[in-house]
Structure 1
């Protein structure tokens, strides 16, 4: 059976922490994308540009982007789909628990519990699709790249304009094209 890897789970918990810290009521696909990119070392042989102004706004809880209702989930076989749905819910609960660890510690000392954010339906759909894709491919462990692919299955999600903006930057264009373009050989140098 497929399971979420450390990077996949860490990306979800890593998105939950800043949402909690900034008092956001929901964890959207934009925040999950930022957290997944932090854990994705290389995207198409190019490091993701985490300093992009749009991503900095997301990390600080200032994104004005919203997630629409997600489309219908992928279906393969009833038993398989149910297992993936259960795994999705377990991963989201675990991410919320791990992401709120510091808030729980502060609440114990102060006696005040902060409001806990919820994952948007778009994030729930993306997690399901990422796990579903990895399981269909026969992988035993699914990583943050599968989560990023899952985010792209939500049309008009908050993560899509961020990826479009990043694709406009030089590093983003290289990542979209599949890496750093080759330079033409120097004159007189065999190729």
Structure 2
């Protein structure tokens, strides 16, 4: 019964994770398109602080979209924050990692020919690997190295190669690639949670 339940939970969170990821990336692509499609507004809108204007039609309805330079004179009572797509993607990914790799560590996480971990040891190493990688990223991005785009990009690429090698040495082949994806996803969501959202709230 337990194995049967885990299979269903794995299936549920796998598809939930995919759908949330599509929504997250889709929203990002939409705003890239939106910023590129904005046009200079008429003067009466510019006087209100609007920097870009766009009219669109979809599903028989007409939409008027305006982008403010800073914030409107009066904030609306209901404001949608584009953050839950990212959070849901990470949470469902974490749930899937727990169900597939941690609950079945001996089958999916551990490769005895590489490192003969116990289940607890493998899970602890996995968590340390994931959050340790994110901590290193945060230290770099908040240091002076993060101010130079070329140095930062080169350093992150080198560290990602090292992480890929290290993951392959520690975990099963399948789990090693999943860990690299989990690192990238954690970094992206961490940027939203610790960087983008606090900055927007203080504006």
- Above 0.5 in TM-score? no
TM-score by length of 1: 0.23
More strand by share: 2
TM-score by length of 2: 0.22
Greater relative contact order: 1 or 2 (C-alpha under 8 angstroms, separation 6 or more)?
1
- Rg larger in structure: 2
More helix by share: 2
